[in-house]
Amino acid sequence: AVAEFTRAGAAQEAARARWREAAAKPAVTPDGHAASVCVNSGNTDSLKSFRADLCDGVGLFRTEFLFMDQNDYPSEELQYRASRAVAEAAAGKEVIIRTLDIGGDKQLGYMDLPKEANPFLGYRAIRICLDREEVFKTQLRALLRAALHGHVKIMFPMIVTLEELRAAKAAVARARASLRAEGVPCADHVPLGIMVETPAAVLLSDVLAEEADFFSIGTNDLIQYTTATDRMNERVQYLYDPCNLSVLRAIQTVIQNGHHAHIPVGMCGEAASDERLLPLLLAMGLDELSMVPAQVGRVKHFIQNTPFATLKALPAEVLGQREIGEAKRILAQYEKEGL
């Protein structure tokens, strides 16, 4: 047993060394297909250890921690300083800052949110922000100011309708106008995109793509809402499967509709670093994968060692299946080849 564990440990260490090396190089396949590999960030610690030279930017900056670390609403100044810090740390690389996604599993005493029977289907994220204009406006003002210090993009979570996207964009315009009226410097143009994490947004993605500057697929919620499976409930975890064919179809639809409208499509849910899905996501043409920093080297290593041409047939092959097990069997063959 000792010999076996020693061997496994050495193999793991060798793999880690390869991944560290891979992290320092761009994510391009041997035949020249590039994909951005970014990091998710969502607390003060992750900001301290952030290394812009090892990734293509921040694909998801969760702003909830700014609200959760406090006993009261964070001021515009505090939010501005945190957003500016991440924008500067990214050194010119993209930083996608997501507006407040509170509610659902994340509660805040001082916000006085109602107790709900189905919080994941209730008052959360953009629904709260559009309802509480002052909270939203304070955050948007902070982000528009921070955008002067880097390549900032703003992303709205939990979008379900075009009306919500339009209302969020109008709130950005009002926040900018209020800054200008006060003579406060802010960015003139900040790309405004959405998380695609509801089946509604998937089915409407052709329409949403015409008015959003980018998409980021949030698989953590998309799997939950597509399969009607609570992401926090262990008893139904067997259904919470990123390889579920309905989820894979949803991902393909979003990428196709995004590209049809010439906007970039990324993914910032956990599935973006799921080794079973990497070949498929790459083959489907996903432009950006965003993940916890620890996964960046492994994902870049996979991309750097997988000729894009060998993946051409994969989407049709996988999505042509009827059973999840069959799709997984096909994906497993590619997984071995690449890593």
- Per CB under 6 A, residues contacting ligand PEP are 60, 62, 101, 197, 218-221, 268-269
* Pattern 187-216, Mg ion, x by CB under 5 A: ----------x-------------------
Q: Name the β-bridge partners of 154.
A: 97, 192
Which listed residue (42, 74, 150, 218) binds Mg ion by CB under 5 A? Answer: 218
What is the CA 294 to chain-centroid distance, rounded?
15
Q: Which residue is nearest to Mg ion (CB)?
A: 221
153 binds, among Mg ion, ligand PEP, none (CB under 5 to 8 A by kind): none
- For ligand PEP, the closer CB: 186 or 284: 284
Here the tokens at position 218 are 């949030």
Q: Is 94 in the site for Mg ion (CB under 5 A)?
A: no
Whole-number Å distance between alpha carbons of 226 and 224: 6
314-320: long-range contacts at Cβ-Cβ below 8 A with a sequence spacing of 24 or more?
314/279, 314/280, 314/283, 315/252, 315/280, 315/283, 315/284, 318/248, 318/280, 319/245, 319/248, 319/249, 319/252
Smallest distance, Å, CB 161 to ligand PEP?
Answer: 18
Q: Is 242 in the site for Mg ion (CB under 5 A)?
A: no
Smallest distance, Å, CB 112 to ligand PEP?
Answer: 22
Any idea which residue has 């043409």 for tokens? 285
In which region does residue 272 sit, left (phi positive, over 0), alpha (psi from -120 to 50) or beta (all else)?
alpha
- For ligand PEP, the closer CB: 132 or 231: 231
Q: Is 64 in the site for Mg ion (CB under 5 A)?
A: no
Q: Which helix (H) or strand (E) holds 83?
A: helix 76-89
Smallest distance, Å, CB 217 to ligand PEP?
Answer: 7
Whole-number Å distance between alpha carbons of 144 and 1: 58
- For ligand PEP, the closer CB: 179 or 267: 267
Q: Is 76 in the site for Mg ion (CB under 5 A)?
A: no
- For Mg ion, the closer CB: 239 or 319: 239
* Phi, psi values for residue 217, rounded to 5°: -80, 120
Burial, 203: exposed, middle or buried (Cβ in 10 Å; 0-12, 13-18, 19+)?
Answer: middle
Smallest distance, Å, CB 334 to ligand PEP?
Answer: 23
62 binds, among Mg ion, ligand PEP, none (CB under 5 to 8 A by kind): ligand PEP
- For Mg ion, the closer CB: 218 or 279: 218
- For ligand PEP, the closer CB: 292 or 330: 292
Looking at residues 221 to 240 of the shown chain, list those that interact with Mg ion (rule: CB under 5 A): 221
162-197 core/surface letters (b: 16 or more CB in 10 A; e: else): eebbeebbebbeebbeebeeeeeebbeebbbbbbbb
- For Mg ion, the closer CB: 220 or 256: 220
What is the 8-class DSSP label of residue 230? -
Residue ranges in contact with Mg ion by CB under 5 A: 197, 218, 221
